[in-house]
Homo-oligomer: A and B are copies of this chain.
Amino acid sequence: ASGGAMAAGLAVPHRAGAQGVVPEWVTVAGHRARGYGMPAEAEAPVQRAIIEPWQDVAPEFSLSGTPLQRLRGTITPSGLHFEVHHGGRPDVDPDQHRLMIHGLVDRPLQFDLNSLERYPMVTATHFLECAGNSLVNAVMPEPLQAGCDVIHGLLSNSEWSGVPMSVLMDEAGVQPEGKWVVAVGSDGPSLARSIPIEKIMEDGILALYQNGERIRPEQGYPMRLLLPGFEGNMNVKWLTSLWVTDAPAHTKHESGEYTEILADGSSVKFTFAIGVKSLITHPSATMTMSGPGFYEISGLAWSGVGKVARVEVSADGGASWADAELVEPVLPRALTRFRMPWQWDGSPTILMSRAHDDTGALQPARPDWKARYHPSNFLHYNAIQPWNVTAEGEVQNVYL
């Protein structure tokens, strides 16, 4: 009989008899510490969804979408941050790389990476979203059955650290006629965007760090421009030049690719900020419900102009809405996680979320969004995403 095993009410299994299942890995020495860690091997399928529209002729024009449906919380692990490369990811030598500030400045300057380390640094968590995110929902006549990685994956959220742009611009001395800054990246096509000087000076960051470590190659190593809330491609990666001008240069990307054609045929040249938007990630398309009962509906909400103020969730196709919990801290121009308990009775239904931001803006329904634009427009799509739940528990992309 085992020692005091009968004392008190504590059920202690008999050691000798019941051994339970002893997995192999508790009987051997484990692996030693390592310099840099990686996800578990079993998580290898958790990858970005690679999108190469012209794979045969132009594979370097390539995108990859964050698998939002496989992630929780709000931070995007840097290995899964979305990519949009207009000419591929360059191999920038950080020792040779320079940041130039020139044009309408008193003192044209250049900085190397080491010098920039001496500068004051700010830290802020911000999302980045490609202006073309969710484009399949914007333009496809029938809803694509794909996951959040493919449909909405050009969206990520990181803690960025770097030098306030204003400190660097002040050192160069912006002249009174300097109203715009043409930011140029050090990639093959030397991607360039014109940015109002007000934004640069207000909260622009020369981002050197992403989630604590040096910024990743895909996100602009060794440095990128960060313009909190602005459409992704204005946050120029591999930033090498800030050219102060009196007017926008009307670069390639602000002449065509990133201009929205409206319903009347006219176009919006500059759409700076990302509109208020939300997305249920759990459950979402390509998932299958595991039977009726309790689920937590969970998703992400964001706005390029401020904080998320409120997220409503509907589990009946929009007939009724209830406020979801916003997970603290709710930060401006950052992804906000929302959650809502839900009992699924097993019958078909439609799940939706709609976000409000602190300017009072509300996420539109798809027909309202479509009504504003020419049918070809695929930019700044921020309409409500309805997910259809079938009786079999399949979760499907659907338009309402």
Contact = CB atoms under 8 A, between A and B. Distances in A.
Interface string A69-87: 0111111111111010101
A162 B211 CA distance: 20
Given A33-B62, A33-B63, A64-B34, A23 B212 contact: no
A222 interface: yes
Number of copies: 2
Given A34-B64, A329-B331, A121 B339 contact: yes
Contact of A209 (B10, B73, B221): B73
Given A88-B31, A92-B25, A118-B295, A213 B37 contact: no
A75 B211 contact: yes
A265 interface: no
Interface residues of A, number: 106
User: Which of A10, A73, A88, A221 has the most chain B CB atoms inside 10 A of its CB?
Assistant: A73
Given A37-B81, A218-B37, A123 B73 contact: yes
Contacts of A75: 75, 159, 211-212
A36 to B, nearest CB: 5
Given A80-B213, A290-B118, A161 B72 contact: yes
Interface stretch (A46-54, A139-147, A350-358, A370-378): A46-54
Interface stretch (A183-191, A195-203, A225-233, A255-263): A183-191
A40 B97 CA distance: 14
A39 B329 contact: no
Nearest to A217: B40
A344 to B, nearest CB: 11
A344 B98 CA distance: 26
B222 A121 contact: no
A211 B73 contact: yes
Interface of A: 8-11, 21, 23, 25-40, 42-43, 46-48, 50-52, 59-60, 62-64, 70-81, 83, 85, 87-98, 102-104, 114, 118-123, 159-162, 175, 177, 186-188, 190, 208-209, 211-214, 216-218, 221-222, 245-246, 290, 293-296, 298, 327, 329, 331, 337, 339, 341
Given A11-B102, A28-B188, 11 more contacts: A25-B93, A32-B60, A32-B85, A33-B51, A33-B83, A33-B85, A34-B218, A40-B217, A71-B212, A75-B75, A77-B212
